[in-house]
């Protein structure tokens, strides 16, 4: 079976690590996958930073914009962090993404590296499940103007400073006052991000098909301040009222230092990320495997 995808971009982690049982470096893994794609009739490109940092030659290197214009599939080799980074960048181009896991958890890079060919072959021929994930558009508003903006696939987090006490945050939803809360911080998580920081802070799991977000306080002063699920059509505003050295981060990768009076405004992005999974893929299978449910059950 030949691939229905003619032009495939390979995106990898930017440092060499051992991959699971195979023991291959990330560079070797990428080259193995590139060779396999070539045997399936694909023209292979490397994301430019991946090629430069891995020292890979012999393939054309493209930046994100060129991948968006020229490629009909992105194949991400690494962990969820690698996928989050490239997913945000490629979402405006609607390039579908397949993830091969060389990280630890692998909630969204779900294909094991060992034996990847057997899994990829039917997918490349068109036998796959589609999975769309929403993005959040977050802005930091200071004195009436936007001083920082970013996309997030997992979460937007407002945190207290490392050496300071709690922050006081005023929360509004669609212009309606919700609460003023004192806590170590506040998480706004998408369904994708509900299995990340929000989960460790006591938030619920949201199925990816739910058009919602979850607001999760981090170590709140008032114990009745509990996580709440909201429609993702809402606009959420978080104002920093008090507290020193507060910051906002977006998928734990981009950071904005906050001043008193700053507002972090979060709304649903018009862009979505399109994941492809093997035929028969189930979100619940992923939860059982990654969260170790049913361990010890006969």
Could you tell me which of 145, 103, 90, 139 has the C-alpha nearest to residue 14?
103
296: Cβ contacts below 8 Å, ≥ 6 apart: none
Could you give phi then psi for residue 155, rounded to 5 degrees?
-165, 160
pLDDT at 297: 59
Structure tokens at 276: 């492809």
Catalytic residue among 32, 63, 80, 143: 80
At how many degrees (to 10) do helices 26-39 and 116-124 cross?
40
Contacts 24+ apart (CB under 8 A), 178-183: 179/225, 180/241, 181/217, 181/220, 181/221, 181/222, 181/225, 182/220, 182/221, 182/222, 183/217, 183/218, 183/219, 183/220, 183/221, 183/225
Does residue 1 carry a pLDDT above 90?
no
User: pTM of the entire structure?
Assistant: 0.90
Does residue 130 carry a pLDDT above 50?
yes
Place of tokens 């993830």: 99
The end-to-end CA distance of the chain, in Å, is 40
Cβ pair 46, 10 in contact under 8 A:
yes
pLDDT at 26: 81
Does residue 188 carry a pLDDT above 80?
yes
Does residue 105 carry a pLDDT above 50?
yes
Give me the mean pLDDT over the 1-21 stretch. 73
pLDDT at 22: 38
- Domains of the chain are 7-126 (3.40.50.10330), 136-269 (2.60.200.30)
Task: Confirm whether 63 is a catalytic residue.
Answer: no
pLDDT tens digits, one per residue of 226-276: 999 999 999 999 999 999 889 999 998 778 899 999 999 999 999 999 999
Cβ neighbours, 10 Å, residue 118: 9
């Amino acid at each position: 079976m030949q691939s229905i995808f003619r032009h495939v971009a390979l995106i990898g982690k930017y440092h060499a690590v051992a991959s699971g049982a195979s023991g291959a470096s990330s560079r070797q893994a990428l080259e193995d996958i590139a060779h396999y794609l070539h045997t399936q009739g694909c023209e292979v490109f490397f994301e430019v930073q991946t090629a430069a940092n891995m020292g890979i030659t012999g393939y054309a290197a493209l930046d994100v914009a060129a991948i968006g214009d020229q490629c009909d599939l992105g194949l991400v080799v690494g962990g969820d962090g690698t996928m989050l980074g490239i997913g945000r960048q490629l979402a405006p181009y609607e390039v579908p993404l397949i993830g091969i896991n060389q990280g630890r958890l692998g909630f969204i890079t779900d294909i094991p590296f060992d034996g990847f060919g057997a899994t990829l072959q039917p997918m490349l021929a068109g036998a796959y499940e589609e999975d769309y994930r929403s993005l959040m558009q977050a802005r930091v508003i200071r004195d009436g103007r936007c001083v920082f903006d970013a996309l997030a696939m997992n979460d937007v987090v407002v945190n207290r400073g490392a050496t300071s006490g709690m922050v006081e945050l005023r929360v509004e939803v669609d212009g309606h006052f919700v609460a003023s809360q004192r806590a170590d911080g506040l998480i706004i998580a998408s369904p994708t991000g509900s299995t990340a920081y929000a989960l460790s802070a006591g938030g619920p799991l949201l199925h990816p098909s739910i058009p919602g977000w979850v607001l999760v306080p981090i170590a709140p002063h008032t114990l009745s301040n509990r996580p709440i699920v909201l429609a993702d059509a809402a606009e959420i505003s978080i104002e920093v009222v008090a507290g020193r050295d507060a910051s906002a981060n977006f998928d734990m990768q981009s950071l904005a230092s906050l001043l008193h009076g700053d507002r972090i405004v979060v709304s649903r992005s018009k862009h979505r990320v399109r994941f492809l999974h093997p035929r028969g893929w189930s979100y619940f299978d992923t939860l059982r495997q990654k969260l170790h449910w049913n361990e010890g059950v006969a």
